[in-house]
Amino acid sequence: MRQLRPARWAASAFVAVLALGACGAGQEAETARETPDVAGVDGTVGQVSLDDVFLDAEDTVEAGASVPLRGVLTNDAEHADRLVGVSTPAAESVRLLDESGAPSADGIELPAGGQVEAVSEAVRMQVEGVNAPISPTDTVPVTFTFATAGEVELDVPVTPGPGPVD
């Protein structure tokens, strides 16, 4: 049996170490970052959390157009709260809708310890009468007013949602 020369042995060992080192990168690698499903913004007021809030548009929202405002509203309080208003200087109004999509004059109820999921489920907030074009790189200031928790303003991005709602 032939013996490996020291230089060949060192080179073989170096290649083996490099190959095994690459296996260790796995989920710890710089490129293995988790990407959220929706590039929305988050905020909190009182015991209400707003998660993944975004204007649902594939492209620029033109002046005069309407666009869904989506997000998840979670009430961690022991008592129900209600979203009573949403406003933005970027549009004439924001209409609050019930589960069937009809206008809701009473706002949107957030049950105690519960949530309203309006990312992939029914549209619950509709921005109407956009004042000027809003591009996908823009953010829009939006103020959410809750009966108990109070007000919070978020800089809401424009991004395409997760797809059609069944």
Q: Distance between alpha carbon 147 and the CA centroid of its chain, in Å?
A: 24
User: What is the spatial distance between Cα 139 and Cα 157, in angstroms, rounded to a whole number?
Assistant: 4
Model confidence pLDDT, tens digit, residues 91-140: 999 999 998 989 999 999 999 999 999 888 888 999 999 999 999 989 99
Which pLDDT score is estimated for 28?
A: 44
User: Which fold, 41-159?
Assistant: Immunoglobulin-like (2.60.40)
For 130-161, b where at least 16 C-beta lie within 10 A, e where not — what string?
beeebeeebebebebbbebbeebebebbbbeb
**φ/ψ (deg, to 5) at 6:** -55, -40
Q: Average pLDDT in the 23-29 region?
A: 46
Q: Model-level pTM? A: 0.75
Establish how many alpha carbons lie within 13 A of residue 125's alpha carbon, considering only the half-sphere containing its beta carbon. Answer: 30
Domain ranges of the chain: 41-159
For the four alpha carbons of 114, 119, 120 and 125, in that order, the dihedral sign comes to positive
pLDDT digits (tens, 9 = 90+) for 34-85: 334 557 999 999 999 999 999 999 999 999 999 999 999 999 999 999 999 9
Structure tokens at 137: 């790189």
Look at strands 48-56 and 150-159 and give their pairing: parallel
Give the Å distances, CA to CA, from 141 to 5, 7, 125, 144.
70, 66, 15, 10
Count H helices and E strands in the chain, helices first: 1, 10
